A and B are shown apart, each in its own frame.
Chain A
Amino acid sequence: MTVKIEVKEGGTPHNTIMWAGLLASLVCLYLGAGLNLAFNAYTFSFFGGLAAVCAIVWGSNTIKTLCSYGIGTGVPSTGYTSFGAGVIAMLLASRVSWYLAPIVLVIVAAIIGLILGYLANNVIMMKIPVLIKSTVELVMVGALVLMGLALMTTSSYSLLSMVSTQTSLLGLPVAGHAGSFIGIAIIAVAFILGMIAVQHPFNATLGPSWQQDRMLMLAAEVGFLTMIPVAFMSIAYLSPLAVIVSIVVSVGGWFYTYNQFLCLSKRDAAAWLDAKPIREPEGH
């Protein structure tokens, strides 16, 4: 039995969140890759994680819009779809130069999402009014999150940095692909991390007393939470300073958003009780 979900009016309009999320995510990607190139450093890789946070916030609201049409238990599967298609767009886009890659990523993701959405809506006959638009958005979100996490782990989102390790041994550059982002399948971890992160905010706050600001705060929280293990994994590719900066940014952001989410939950909860018995409602 699925839970009935009511469509809530009010709050920030979805299109505003969509454009804000897309632009902020792109800006963060460019900032991270550009600053890393300009200073020839790894320190700005954490911008990739921030790009992922922006995309996750946007994606959670898209899932909310899509799942208002009664997809109760299908919430996690929307995450799978978006990331399964997003990884294709991400790998294709990583072939072009750094200043074109994010734009190519968004365009390729939109095309894949359009095809998937058309197949789901018109061939499998799901007939959900917002399905095509939502699928396009979700594939973009998946691709942006994956590219952001790739940037955060390897300091760049080019294919070369994803399939080879850039570490130097005794001052000599050592090239190898066995320990790379794709070689030891860190990309699989990024895939499942992002996928759970995108579906979790709505999946965890669905119900009759759903509130948009609480869900978006939770989305930011899981975004920063996703950054923490990614920061630890970047230890294999980045300089110690860059890893420490990434950990400080992600833990700081997580702490703030988690605290805010606690406050919002306290605001919305029917009661906030500590070690109290069950309160039976009237008539039971």
Chain B
Amino acid sequence: MVENIVIGIGLTAFAGALASVAGAAEDVESDIGSQGDPNSQVQLAPQMGYIHRIFNKAVSGEPPAYGLWVALGAGLAAAFLQVNINPILALALGCAIATLVQGIYATTAYLGRIASLAKFGQPVYIDILKSMTTVTMAHAFIAIFTAVTMCYLMNAALGHPFPLALLGLVWGIALGAAGSATGNPFYGKERQYQNQKFGAGVPVAASGNIVRYAEAGERNSLDNGWFTAKLGGPASGVCFGLIVFLELWRTVLFESFWAGWGAIFVGLILILIFTFIDRYAEVWARETFGPYAKPEGAAK
């Protein structure tokens, strides 16, 4: 019994570590591709006269897109496992095919979106496709492979009742949501809109006025990946790693209490604790850094 719990906790920690890597890679991938909500400004920029060299590959929101990539990797791995291919090989092969699909989607999204902006004179920079698609694919492979491996651990070692592909869909959507919620402020606010004041939002006059020139030369999406790899990626990794770790931790430790309700009760307590932490951090950050100390309307 104790050994089971010790193994369970070890697997939980391992899954959490895998999830941290997945979250970090996911965020850097989506920022290089300018996916997620800051992309609306990248999409808008040429219409406001700001021609840019950003890789605009919006396949859809990050959660559905990552739901697809991870579910695809997991589903292919599950199918390969059915024909008795070695699990490690099956996982790697499935994730490789899923990554190829991701890369092809990325190129068509960039070409389609940019070609539809022809009216505003935004050219297709074909070198962006050549140099950045492979970089997003590399990050995507890391994110997909770690996420699928994590799902495989849950399914095979922790005995999760869901099949591998369904776990991939659920955790892929969670991965995309974590990266989107945590990493996008770094990419959108601190990078594309670093010329605006902290906490100022995007006023109408600044719509589409993204940062297009770098310290030397013109900024492209690899610079954005380099920037978000420093803070945004690790923050997303910590976010998704904590989600996975705490989720498995409460299940492994407290599922035996009250016929499973113990885990649900601990989950509710965790949600409450994080609500208080979030509120405290937000208020503290606004009071310490923001120009808007007073509520709106009383400003100025």
Q: Which residues of A are at the interface with B, using a C-beta cutoff of 8 A?
A: 1-3, 73, 75-76, 79-80, 165, 179, 183-186, 188-189, 191-193, 195-196, 199-201, 203-211, 214-215, 218, 221-222, 225, 228-229, 232-236, 258, 261-262, 264-266, 268-281, 283-284
Contact = CB atoms under 8 A, between A and B. Distances in A.
Interface stretch (B96-104, B133-141, B248-256, B257-265): B96-104
Given A208-B117, A235-B83, A1 B44 contact: yes
Q: Interface size for chain B: under 10, 10 to 19, 20 to 34, or 35 or more residues?
A: 35 or more
A78 to B, nearest CB: 11
A56 to B, nearest CB: 13
A200 B105 contact: yes
B164 interface: yes
15 contacts: A3-B43, A76-B64, A185-B164, A188-B71, A188-B165, A189-B165, A204-B59, A208-B47, A214-B115, A228-B101, A232-B76, A235-B80, A266-B124, A272-B126, A279-B121
Contacts of A221: 108
Nearest to B117: A207
Interface in B33-74: 40-41, 43-44, 47, 49-53, 58-61, 64-65, 67-68, 71-72, 74
Contact of B101 (A215, A229, A283): A229
Interface in B157-185: 162-166, 168-169
A234 B26 CA distance: 28
Given A184-B165, A185-B164, A274-B127, A284 B212 contact: no
Contacts of A234: 79
B259 to A, nearest CB: 26
Contact of B123 (A2, A183, A186, A269): A269
Contact of B49 (A193, A203, A211, A284): A284
Given A196-B64, A274-B126, A188 B112 contact: no
Contacts of A270: 117-124
B108 A269 contact: no
A232 B41 contact: no
B278 interface: no
Nearest to A199: B60
B114 interface: yes
Contact of B40 (A1, A204, A236, A284): A1
B44 A269 contact: no
Nearest to B167: A185
B122 A205 contact: no
Given A233-B75, A233-B76, A204 B109 contact: yes
Give the most central of A228, A234, A283: most B CB within 10 Å: A228
Given A209-B117, A271-B124, A273-B126, A192 B68 contact: yes
